[in-house]
């Protein structure tokens, strides 16, 4: 039995049939959307992750040359309050040939270095040395700008988005608008 046979036996109202087809499609679409919603919403970050999205850091008690380590999104972040000697030395060099980068591109303010404290080789936490950082796992060395000097690390210590809320307060995880 074809559609034309059905139309001949039950002439009905074609506008009603069109309406029923569209209404059935709309209800089916709503059902699919309702069934898919839990799966889609499960891709949103959990509340505990959102709570760690930004971290405020108090810098008021730090002295020149001092390092503060804080946690941001489960990773250590090194905040180094650099001395004028460290700043001058870092501006005078590009780091190494492994991943050259000017110091000015790695900081918002010359006296403050903010980097993720994980070696870019295999993710170990480097230890602080006067000349920078040393990765105890495989021997990578970084300068006081977080630039890799030697070792198996392929990149400089990673930067993260941050901004200064005040001279003595830092917000990790969110860059300043327009920056």
Active site residues: 138
CB 33 within 8 A of CB 41: no
Query: What three-state secondary structure class fits 133?
Result: strand
CA-only gyration radius of the chain, Å: 29
What is the sign, positive or negative, of the torsion defined by CA atoms of 89, 169, 62, 73? Answer: negative
Residue 118 to residue 61: CA distance in whole angstroms: 25
- Check: CB of residue 120 under 8 Å from CB of residue 135: no
Of 159, 162, 172, which is closest to residue 99 (Cα–Cα)? 159
């Amino acid at each position: 039995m074809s559609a034309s046979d059905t139309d001949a036996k039950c002439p009905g109202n074609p506008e009603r049939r069109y309406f029923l087809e569209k209404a059935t499609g709309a209800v089916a679409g709503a059902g699919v959307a309702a069934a898919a919603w839990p799966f889609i919403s499960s891709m949103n970050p959990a509340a505990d992750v959102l709570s760690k999205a930004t971290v405020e850091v108090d810098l008021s008690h730090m002295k020149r040359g001092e390092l503060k380590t804080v946690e941001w999104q489960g990773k250590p972040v090194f905040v180094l309050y650099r001395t004028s000697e460290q700043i001058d030395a870092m501006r005078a060099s590009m780091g190494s040939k492994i991943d050259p980068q000017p110091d000015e591109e790695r900081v918002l303010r010359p006296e403050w270095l903010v980097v993720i404290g994980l070696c870019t080789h295999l993710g170990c936490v480097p230890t602080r040395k006067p000349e920078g950082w040393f990765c105890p796992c495989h021997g990578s060395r970084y300068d006081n700008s977080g630039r890799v000097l030697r070792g198996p690390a392929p990149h400089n210590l990673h930067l993260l988005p941050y901004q200064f809320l005040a001279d003595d307060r830092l917000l990790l995880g969110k860059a300043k608008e327009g920056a």
